[in-house]
Structure 1
């Protein structure tokens, strides 16, 4: 069985991940006033981007790229990055009365686009090494000791999450998922175990919330600051990142266990996660900056409402009308940029940067899930 054959599981996992991304950003303002919201926030951030990186790595190739694959790095990653950086600059200028255009420092969610581009560029070189996973773990842990990486080109965060992307590629390269038949059937005890893992993690995130605030845990989970900047001046600070990576791996595994294997009514939305990723920040921006999400009591009412709103936002931004309007921004095809214009053509099957492939849409095309 080919690892590239379309499986509903991967679209389910993609969409579940993007819902967690929206939820994490939406609930952030509630964390200042609610320990329960902070516990949920820490739980989500402990694994959702590592899980996304694993999925992206699973559908990445380590072979020397073809001309079309190289062109897709430009059309699917670099061009949208420039477009949305420009949009963010304009938005900040209108809303905040200031703008600091700097294409080397990605705005808000755009860091992941740069990370995907860098992941794709370095993967063929990592694949040449004997122990690529061990090397990327060493790189991730070592990067935290460097105080000069910062957020330029999102390099600190990219190196921090590189092991998860490499793990996804390694699982595909060695056909681990197929050989172990992980997407065919699961024993009942795996679901119980996965639920237990999240129950324990959720309890720990909430019960020790004062400790997590004291050690600045939320910033450790971002992978974008040096250990020293987060107060980790001890020589063993890298051990904290290593432990957090282990926790992220366990939670990601539990998350994948709970993702449905078969097609559902929302499966096909997993093909359009990049629309949700790039657009949801513009939906949340006025809510976050206006203070509407502050001092919302009682939590037991507002937190569930924010969760539901996050799911609806993700669903809405993945719908066909939204995609039709924003496709020139999210999936630009600048044929004028290439000496061979066919490299940017829409013909054939398209893929977003997370590896989701789909047939070209047309008015007569019916979406497949």
Structure 2
């Protein structure tokens, strides 16, 4: 009896593989945002950008899906939707609105249009709500792929409430959930070291081939606007892909991303590393790094041709930003914004399905 009680009360042990994956994926996201201004002038920067965007957002979404609950939501899960997603979105969207106004823009408080990276919070909200319904269906992954491809044909599905990205990236969230159902990571963690390195060699080969193909065809990829397909945020017709086969390109990009997600996870250290603990702070990095990069992007510092050292310098800066924003002191300082508890918002007693309040036993007469 005691052992059962202990098992119930102990917190779930964090798996180093996933914290390592979280931190590396979010750091790649910072790199991608940091070098955006360089891609117009430098093919080497554009090559790196396309390489990163081929998998880093799908990886981040898949990791979120891996830990998503697919059963009927309980009170705790609904509480967390508010405190982890909705309230931080309102807080940071308000901050961005005020910042743009201070810098000379108009004061327009529009919560239907997410600022910069805040689209992910809106998408995550929808994915978490939709997953229990999707998994009731026989083929949730195939259905999510069909939704993603189909959404690209509809020009009225745009950035309002991040709907285009929400539907476009939905398959990766479901794919992450499926990885847990397939128990692939459990098998991977138990695999012998000799077999591990064989699979990792194949993963390295896949990434090397991808980078080589991008580098050798960079001008063609510019002309084909492949970057627009990797963002999943527009209908195909918006960037002149009105033909019926445009959805086939999204499907190809998506299938490649599925393979890259698995390859990425194979290359992630399975044991604890110096950055494992930093993986618990990915939402801090995600929400705060934009404020660090904003001056560099908007002040013209990176406009036009740049010296060769700027690209590696931005990569180093991105890693440093990711490390600093993961530190406990930063998390303590910004926790009220990133992880607001908002206890004042919630009633102290639960309510029944009919809306009547359930009083604690001691208050009943």
1:27 aligns with 2:17: no
Q: 1:162 aligns with which of 170, 177, 180?
A: 170
Counterpart of 2:281 in structure 1 is 272
1:200 aligns with 2:209: yes
For residues 55-104 of structure 1, the C-alpha deviation after alignment (integer angstroms, 9 at most, x for no partner) is 11110111111101101000100000000000000111112433432101
For residues 325-365 of structure 1, the C-alpha deviation after alignment (integer angstroms, 9 at most, x for no partner) is 111000001112111389xxxxxxxxxxxxxxxxxxxxxxx
Cα deviation for residue 170 of structure 1 reads: 1.5
For residues 184-229 of structure 1, the C-alpha deviation after alignment (integer angstroms, 9 at most, x for no partner) is 7453222222221111111222221111111111111110100111
Contact 2:189/2:270, CA 8 A, preserved across alignment = no
Gaps of 5+ in 2: 1-11, 351-365
Counterpart of 1:10 in structure 2 is 18
How many angstroms apart in 2 are the aligned matches of 1:10 and 1:63? 22
Counterpart of 1:213 in structure 2 is 222
Contact 1:141/1:160, CA 8 A, preserved across alignment = yes
Counterpart of 2:48 in structure 1 is 40
TM-score by length of 1: 0.88
How many angstroms apart in 1 are the aligned matches of 2:239 and 2:77? 38
1:116 aligns with 2:124: yes
How many angstroms apart in 1 are the aligned matches of 2:192 and 2:157? 43
For residues 114-158 of structure 1, the C-alpha deviation after alignment (integer angstroms, 9 at most, x for no partner) is 111111000000010001111001001101011101101101101
Cα deviation for residue 183 of structure 1 reads: 6.8
Describe the shift of the 1:137–1:87 C-alpha distance in structure 2 as closer, same or farther (beyond 3 A): same
Contact 1:183/1:261, CA 8 A, preserved across alignment = no
Counterpart of 1:225 in structure 2 is 234
1:216-255 equivalence runs, <5 A? 216-255=225-264
Cα deviation for residue 179 of structure 1 reads: 4.3
CA-based RMSD: 1.7
How many angstroms apart in 2 are the aligned matches of 1:252 and 1:336? 40
Q: In terms of mean alpha carbon deviation, does 116-125 or 286-295 score higher?
A: 286-295
How many angstroms apart in 2 are the aligned matches of 1:257 and 1:34? 31
Cα deviation for residue 233 of structure 1 reads: 0.8
Contact 2:148/2:168, CA 8 A, preserved across alignment = yes
Counterpart of 1:362 in structure 2 is none
Cα deviation for residue 54 of structure 1 reads: 0.8
1:146 aligns with 2:151: no
Describe the shift of the 1:33–1:180 C-alpha distance in structure 2 as closer, same or farther (beyond 3 A): closer
1:49-198 equivalence runs, <5 A? 49-179=57-187, 181=189, 185=193, 186-198=195-207
Gaps of 5+ in 1: 343-369
Cα deviation for residue 167 of structure 1 reads: 1.0
Cα deviation for residue 298 of structure 1 reads: 2.8
Counterpart of 1:359 in structure 2 is none
Contact 1:296/1:302, CA 8 A, preserved across alignment = no
Cα deviation for residue 248 of structure 1 reads: 1.0
Describe the shift of the 1:321–1:341 C-alpha distance in structure 2 as closer, same or farther (beyond 3 A): farther
Cα deviation for residue 33 of structure 1 reads: 1.4
Give the aligned length: 339
How many angstroms apart in 1 are the aligned matches of 2:183 and 2:134? 18
User: Which one has a bigger Cα radius of gyration?
Assistant: 2
How many angstroms apart in 2 are the aligned matches of 1:24 and 1:340? 44
